[in-house]
Amino acid sequence: MFSWRMVPCVIFEDEHLLVVAKPAGWNTHAPSPFAGEGIYDWLKHREPRWSSLAILHRLDKETSGVLVFGKTPLANKSLTEQFTERRVHKKYLLLTDRAVPHEEFTVKTSLVRVGEKYVSCPSGEIAETKFTPIADAKFGNGKLKTVSAEPFTGRTHQIRVHAAESSFPILGDTLYGGTASSRVFLHAAEIAFAHPATGKPVKFFAPVNFDIEPRLALRDAAIQPEATNAFRVIHGASDGWPGWFVEKLGDFLLSQAGAPLDAKQKEELSRLAKKFSSRGAYHKILSRQVRKSNVADASPQLVLGDVAPEQFEILENGVRYEMSFNEGYSVGLFLDQRDNRRRFLTGHIAADFDLLNSKLKIENSKPEVLNCFAYTCGFSVCAAKSGARTTSLDLSKKYLERGKRNFARNGLDPATHDFIFGDTFDWLRRLAKKGRAFDVIVFDPPTFSQSKEHGTFRAEKDFGKLVTAALPVLKPGGTLFASTNAAEFLPEAFLADIEAAVSMAKWKIVKQHYVPQPPDFPISRDEPAYLKTVWLKIA
């Protein structure tokens, strides 16, 4: 029996330590408040027992390998002292396509920062690295050199600078003169130190695999295949394919772009289909005029393999959802909300932030969850599986019916939950008049929508109005979940609108947690963040 709480990147855990294998392409920690979560941020807020996680050392974004976090004050103090006193032994492996010395040698220089780079100079922080050539390695079409690097100090970019200044820059490290490649081929292979509690020597390893594609290694580190078989495989420019997006949906692949597939994309899609043993692959043309298209034109089209059944099933965090390629533009679930749906399953939002207030837990009451703009009721299913009574509200009867089927697929009786067809603003007023109140209210509206009762809704100008309308039916101490994928709606403006609405209503935000999209939707300069989510505890 699998546990969907497992995280594939975790190598070791005890009371004091959490040791992980970080993939290339994932920051150690978030570089800015609204950037993608680093592996530290993602883990810290994932499980209650990781709420006190502390960073003790770092790896560059494009460096893979073993990374140790502290879980207790004892671990943090002990390992900080061991790092400071240079009693932690680390070993890295690197690939280079340049000539390297035949014997081991040590480089000791002073490093200073100059712009984005670090350079050796007469004065600065001392950095010392021992290099040992190992063997030739076959990678790609060329023959490369493998070199072991043991840093005796822990300076930023130390190994990268010393390798480059020794005339063998690391493959892919273009910042320091390396040949361009799919990643920086530097891997933290092992780390050894005295255990903070027992004092006994411990050593942790992260086996190197330079052959694996960086984007697939990133997904492998974050997604447990036994519990989840639906995730984004290619996320546009962040994965080297500007304007192209590919998702694995169970036994099928879904490709999305603004135009038909070109020859290079068809070749890559075919390769991915073989990689994942997919039964077939579909392509959807992204269009702003989708509302003017008929169902057949808006639906994804088969491009290779077998035709998908009218409805098929995917698995996410152990929960089953119905999907379809035959019902128009939307196929049944937005994968970028996977981590947020998991929060409903676990009842844990972030470090020191539980979904429900302590009074409900003490009374063992059944929480009430209102899911507005419910679509196919993904949030509702997860909330119901965790014991909540849900009310799902949407403008589409068709999607609500699919939502009921999602309940049934997971052994939940739809008859014990409410499904309301109608306009969100209208029904929030009705519910307030009836005296209804909810422990959790969910807002994940479309960027643009229209209804007869309310007219036009645009996320950028109307989100604050949603919050204002919701507060009369939110219980004191309740939780508000607000999310939008409106790319032009900046995070600062999104949060300001929500905070202003709460303040105007004379309510108070007592807890707040902001999250962007999950790791398989990587954020980069060329592919900026678009999903914005905030969880609020309001009193």
For domain 334-538, the CATH superfamily is Vaccinia Virus protein VP39 (3.40.50.150)
Domain ranges of the chain: 10-214, 228-316, 334-538
- What global pTM score does this model have? 0.93
**Residue 294: CA count within 13 A, CB half-sphere:** 1
Sequence-separated (6 or more) residues with CB below 8 Å from residue 247: 230, 231, 232, 233, 253, 254, 256, 335
State the pLDDT at residue 139: 66
Residue of 41, 60, 354, 520 marked active site = 60
For each of the chain's 539 residues, which pLDDT tens digit applies?
A: 334 457 999 999 999 999 999 999 999 999 988 989 999 999 999 999 999 999 999 999 999 999 999 999 999 999 999 999 999 999 999 999 999 998 999 999 999 999 999 999 988 889 999 999 997 766 655 689 999 999 999 999 999 999 999 999 999 999 999 999 999 999 999 999 999 999 999 999 999 999 999 999 999 999 999 999 999 999 999 999 999 999 999 999 999 999 999 999 999 999 999 999 999 999 999 986 655 566 777 889 999 999 999 999 999 999 999 999 998 778 999 999 999 999 999 999 999 999 987 665 556 678 999 999 999 999 999 999 999 999 999 999 999 999 999 999 999 999 999 999 999 999 999 999 999 999 999 999 988 777 666 667 888 888 999 999 999 999 999 999 999 999 999 999 999 999 999 999 999 999 999 999 999 999 999 999 999 999 999 99
Q: Which two tokens stand for residue 406?
A: 């999602």
**Amino acid in position 234:** I
Question: For 159, which DSSP code?
Answer: H
- Across 509-530, b (16+ Cβ under 10 Å) vs e yields eebbbebbbbbbbbbbeebebb
Which pLDDT score is estimated for 1? 32
The helix or strand, by DSSP H or E, that contains position 41, with its residue range, turns out to be: helix 39-44
How far is the C-alpha of 508 from the C-alpha of 536, rounded, in Å?
A: 10
Task: Compute the distance between CA of residue 301 and CA of residue 281 in angstroms, rounded to an integer.
Answer: 9
136 carries an active-site annotation = no
10 Å CB burial of residue 467 (0-12, 13-18, 19+) is buried
What's residue 291's pLDDT? Answer: 55
Residue 531: helix, strand or coil by DSSP? coil
pLDDT of residue 330: 86
* 8 A C-beta contact, residue 38 and residue 263: no
Burial string for 476-486 (b: 16+ CB within 10 Å, else e) reads: ebbbbbbbbbb
Residues 6+ apart with CB under 8 A from 434: none
- Residue in the block written with tokens 């981590």: 339
Query: Is domain 228-316 given the CATH code 3.30.750.80 in the classification?
Result: yes
CATH fold of the domain at 10-214: Pseudouridine synthase (3.30.2350)
